[in-house]
Amino acid sequence: MDTLPKYRPELVVKKLRYYARYIVVCLLLNKMDQVKVLVKELSEEIEDYTQRFNTEDQLEWNLVLQEVAAFVEADPVVVLNNENTVVIISNRLQEGGMPSLEQGMVVGQLTLADALIIGNCNNQVKFSELTIDMFRILQALEREPVNLATTTSKHGTLEPSEKPAKRENPHKYLLYKPTFSQLFTFLSASFKELPVNSVLLVYLSATGVFPTGCLDYEGPYDFGGVLTNTNRDVVNGETVQKRNHAQKEMHCLHPGDLFPFTRKPLFVIVDSANSTAYKNFTNLFGQPLVCLLSPTVYPKSMQDQSQRGSLFTLFLYCPLLAFLSVCGLSSLRQGLWEKADEFLCKVFRDIGQMITRSLAIDQAFLQFYGDEFLRLLLIRFVFCSATLRMHRLFQDSRSFPESYPQLPKQDTVESSFLRKHVLELAAMLDVQRLFWDRALDVNY
């Protein structure tokens, strides 16, 4: 009998758990190359474990492997170099990677301090307690670390004066399928500790809860909201309806539940089939408040991809990836990607000017525009809205993102200047046939 310690099943399980935790850490750090290596090693370890020991947790470990493999392969488009190798693209905030504030721009001095990232979607790709949408918005709220070892002067030596100032990332709470009590507890704690002139961001990626019965709406608890966990595995499907028409759904985050937290600057993103429930806000306390709301209906071809993450969140995470996905492209050469990405940088500068120069825009947008993360999210939201409005598959008005307060459409999402940019990007990628062109389409 083999008595070596390494062949004891409980020690092997510890090793497998270590691999799983290490993969989660690498995912959070966006070390995707390392993740792929670890997945391969984990697969070999699990195969060896299941062959050596006849254990009851064999299916469980195979499920872990399937989850992480699906997570790594969730991106709908791959970028290929000349050797046909997949290029890992970072979508974190990079120095100089966003439109800067022009001289004379009047914007707020608020800073994003805390972010609550909530994931409660059924049947979405996940690993551990991290859904793909949670992962993507997490990356969108991270700065790309600066490698000081490669920061050199023109003469090839590191200059002390060139050392970049350390910029803080917002503090994040990741909540996977929280109960209402858990969600409210974290909201309250974050609200309590929020510094002066700081912003709390709440991201909700969750199944929609819709009102039933009487349509005589009276307030912020009559529109439904998004699902919170019931602590019982009884919820299936995308639409959850309350059983007693005379009462409100308990296991739901209603718009009214967020009202107490509008005493401080609040930035809300809702990605749900009932996101529009959150456009019925009332700004009771006069603090900056913005809600970015996903489409509630997608074309059939897009619905089929929902398991790999929401298109709306994909636009907020990586607009070019989302643009390629909505155009049905599954791969792109690195050279063309870089060309399109450079063009998008120009588009984003123009969108930034549209936002700050509009005379009709609500001041709340300008209050948040001073923060780099929120600025990028606002710009990507406008680009997403313009793209979907022009796409031939998106004909239902419910397929367009909305916001509270509403954006002045003619100055932003329906600007002729922005439409021209979308068509130019489509032409660069040879997909212009998928978009309405007012100059050519009489039915637009």
Provide the pLDDT for residue 154: 39
Task: Pull the structure tokens for residue 390.
Answer: 């022009």
Query: What pLDDT is attached to residue 214?
Result: 62
Q: What CA–CA distances, in Å, run from 141 to 62, 171, 173, 298? A: 32, 9, 12, 26
292/360 same-domain check: yes
Which amino acid is present at 69? A
Q: Which residues of 348-363 are buried (b: 16+ CB within 10 A; e: fewer)?
A: bebbbebbbebeebbe
Is 382 contained in some domain?
yes
| Residue 232 shares a structural domain with residue 291 | yes
Which pLDDT belongs to residue 213?
66
DSSP strand pairing (126-127 vs 208-210): unpaired
Which tokens sit at 367?
Answer: 């209050």
Domain identity same for 285 and 413:
yes
Place of tokens 């399937």: 66
- Same-domain pairing of 218 and 346: yes
Q: Do residues 299 and 220 share a domain?
A: yes
Residue 261 and residue 323 in one domain: yes
- The verdict on 122 and 62 lying in the same domain is no
Judge whether 62 lies within some domain: yes
Q: In whole angstroms, what is the distance from residue 430 CA to residue 329 CA?
A: 10
Phi then psi for 298, rounded to 5 degrees? Answer: -120, 155
User: What pLDDT does residue 106 have?
Assistant: 72
135 shares its domain with 260: yes
- Is 332 within a domain? yes
User: Per the structure block, which two tokens stand in for 197?
Assistant: 């002139």
How much is the pLDDT for 161?
A: 40
In the chain, the amino acid numbered 100 is: S
Which two three-digit tokens encode residue 201?
């961001």
pTM, two decimals, is 0.89
* pLDDT of res. 158: 40
Average pLDDT over residues 116-125: 93
Backbone angles phi, psi at 331, to 5 degrees: -155, 160
pLDDT tens column, 54-72: 777 888 888 999 999 999 8
CATH number, domain of 242, equals 3.40.50
Q: Cα separation of 284 and 219, whole Å?
A: 13
Name residues whose C-beta falls within 8 Å of residue 135's C-beta, 6 or more positions apart in sequence.
27, 71
User: What six digits make up the tokens of 89?
Assistant: 């693209």
Question: Which residues, 6 or more positions from 111, have their beta carbon under 8 angstroms from its beta carbon?
Answer: 197, 198, 199, 370, 371
**b/e string for 301-335 if b means 16 or more Cβ within 10 A?**
ebeebbebbbbbbbbbbbbbbbbbbbbebeebeee
Residue 439 has pLDDT above 60, yes or no: no
The answer on 49 and 124 residing in a single domain is no
Specify the number of domains making up the chain.
Answer: 2
Other beta carbons within 10 angstroms of residue 32's beta carbon come to 16
Q: Which of 67, 175, 62 is nearest to 127 (CA)?
A: 67
Q: Stretch 393-415: mean pLDDT, rounded?
A: 95
Evaluate if residue 345 carries a pLDDT over 90: yes
Taking the CA atoms of residue 14, residue 20, residue 24 and residue 30 in that order, the dihedral angle to the nearest 10 degrees is 120
Q: What is the pLDDT of residues 203-245, one digit of tens each?
A: 999 999 998 766 566 678 888 999 999 865 444 444 454 455 5
Determine, yes or no, domain membership for 154: no
> Does one domain contain both 355 and 429?
yes
Question: What gap in Å lies between CA 322 and CA 47, rounded to an integer?
Answer: 36
Measured distance CA(73)–CA(406) in Å, rounded: 36
Closest CA to 311 of 297, 330, 332, 291: 297
Q: 228 with 305, same domain?
A: yes
- What confidence score (pLDDT) does residue 10 get? 83
Residue 105 lies in a domain: no
Residue 97 lies in a domain: no
Whole-angstrom CA distances from 286 to 63, 110, 261 are 49, 15, 12
**Which structural domain, as residue segments, surrounds residue 18?**
5-73
Residues 386 and 240 in one domain: yes
pLDDT tier at 82 (50, 70, 90 boundaries)? confident
In a domain, 441, yes or no: no
| pLDDT digits 0-9 by tens, 239-270 | 454 455 557 889 999 999 999 999 999 999 99
What is the structure's pLDDT at 292? 98
Distance of CA 136 to the CA centre of its chain: 5
Residue 106 within a domain: no
